[in-house]
Amino acid sequence: METMTETPTKQLAEKVQPPKVEPATDEAIANYLRYTCKMAEIAALAERDTAILKACEELKIVISDEELQATGDEFRVKHKLLTASETLAWLEKQRIGPEDWTQGIRMQLLMQKLKERLFLDAIDAHYLTNREEYQRVAFSQIMVAELPVALQIAQTLRAEKVSFAAMAIEHSKAYPSSQHGGFVGIRFLSSLVPEIKQALAGIPEGEIIAPVKTNLGYHILRVEKWFPPSLNESVRAEILEVLFQGWLISNAGDRS
């Protein structure tokens, strides 16, 4: 019977091939963005770039040909586009021309220069004032929907009858940490939801924390390791981004 129901469908699929269509025009692409409700998101990014260009003009921030060339070459190395032909083929695949690509590199450089002009000197002061916000923690969690289940899991873990990872794989509803034995990763304490942040604060490594309620469910937590705050390059970049995004938002607010 199954073969009888499948056969007509198969035949139809073989009969009707996907229609050949012309490459989408800019208008068609814009239309797609509208009906998939992505217009606002892309429009905001375009407006952001316009704001960056205006600010750079005002501050007389320019990109030299040498900077442009060096960054373009770095881009090509990163994307393994070592020959001109590979690069041109890649551009064609992206449906853009060399000028579009160059404009993208220029925007990227202008944005970085603007960020640094506006906020590079403010990073250290921001960090020293908000240092505790940059403490990081590696932690694991088991998230379940019911409190009694959470309490039972916490009790079992405290009795050290089974491993945290095994319980997480079996019970946790949190994805993707459940697939990694409950290990969430290393996170800035300030980036966590307030309930989790409060529960983790000051807890010694290895201790099982009683179920914590959030909008998502009940979390059994364990701190794996604390990392003291440190203003390394990645944190500097993050602070620069935070300050810049704040400036962009206030700028957008002024425009509206």
Binding interface with other proteins (CB under 8 A):
65, 68-69, 72-73, 76-77, 82-84, 87-88, 98, 101-102, 105, 124, 127-128, 131, 228-232
Kindly tell me the number of DSSP H helices and DSSP E strands found in the chain. 11, 4
Phi and psi, residue 81, nearest 5° = -105, 70
Q: Write down the least CB distance from residue 227 to other proteins, Å.
A: 9
Residue with smaller CB distance to other proteins, 13 or 128: 128
Residue with smaller CB distance to other proteins, 69 or 155: 69
Phi and psi, residue 226, nearest 5° = -100, 145
Q: Write down the least CB distance from residue 198 to other proteins, Å.
A: 19
Residue with smaller CB distance to other proteins, 45 or 70: 70
Q: Write down the least CB distance from residue 26 to other proteins, Å.
A: 23
The CA distance from 218 to 151, in Å, is 9
Q: Write down the least CB distance from residue 89 to other proteins, Å.
A: 11
CA–CA distance from 98 to each of 21, 60, 88, 245 (Å)?
Answer: 25, 25, 8, 29
DSSP string, 11-28: HHHHHSPPPP-PPPPHHH
Residue with smaller CB distance to other proteins, 102 or 214: 102
